[in-house]
Amino acid sequence: MNHSVAAGVAAVFVLSMLHISIANAADAKAGKEIFSRCAACHTVTKGGPNGLGPDLFGVVGRKAGSRPDFGYSPAMKNAGFKWTPQKLDAYIAHPAQVVPGNRMAFAGIPDPKQRADVIAYLATLK
C-alpha cells in the first residue's frame, strides 16, 4: 500500500472513530433539554397533534414527509429518504441544504454534540 492510500485509509478511520465517539457520548436527557428549542413548532407525543411542524414521535426510521395528517412541502414529500440518525444529523445541522425548498424556518444546530443529544432523545420516542 503506498503512503497516500495509507494516509487516506487512516483519515477515514479517524473520522469514523470520531463520529462513533460523538454518537456514543450522546445524552438523551440533554437532548430533551435542547429539543425545547424545537418544541415551539414540533410535538413529541405518541398520536399527538401536529404543530407548525409535524409531531416527531417515532421520527427515527420514518420516511421523510410521510405522516399522513401533516401538510408537508412538496420538497419534503418528495425527499425520498428515511430519517436515519445520520440523515437527522445532517438535517438538524443544515435543513435547507438537506431538503432544499422545505418550509422549516430553522437555521440549524451547528454543535455536533447537541445534535447527537437531540437525536438520542428522538430515538427514545418509540
Question: What value does the mean pLDDT of the chain take?
Answer: 87
- What confidence tens digit (pLDDT) does each residue in 40-81 have? 999 999 999 999 999 999 999 999 999 999 999 999 999 999
- Domains along the chain? 27-123 (1.10.760.10)
> Does residue 4 register a pLDDT over 90?
no
In the structure, what pLDDT confidence band is assigned to residue 32 with cuts at 50, 70 and 90?
very high
> Does residue 8 register a pLDDT over 50?
no
pLDDT of residue 69: 95
> Does residue 2 register a pLDDT over 80?
no
Q: Which residues contact 3 (CB under 8 A, 6 or more apart)?
A: none
Q: Which residues contact 118 (CB under 8 A, 6 or more apart)?
A: 31, 34, 35, 38, 92, 109
Query: Which of 62, 44, 12, 38 is CA-nearest to residue 115?
Result: 38
Q: pTM for this one?
A: 0.79
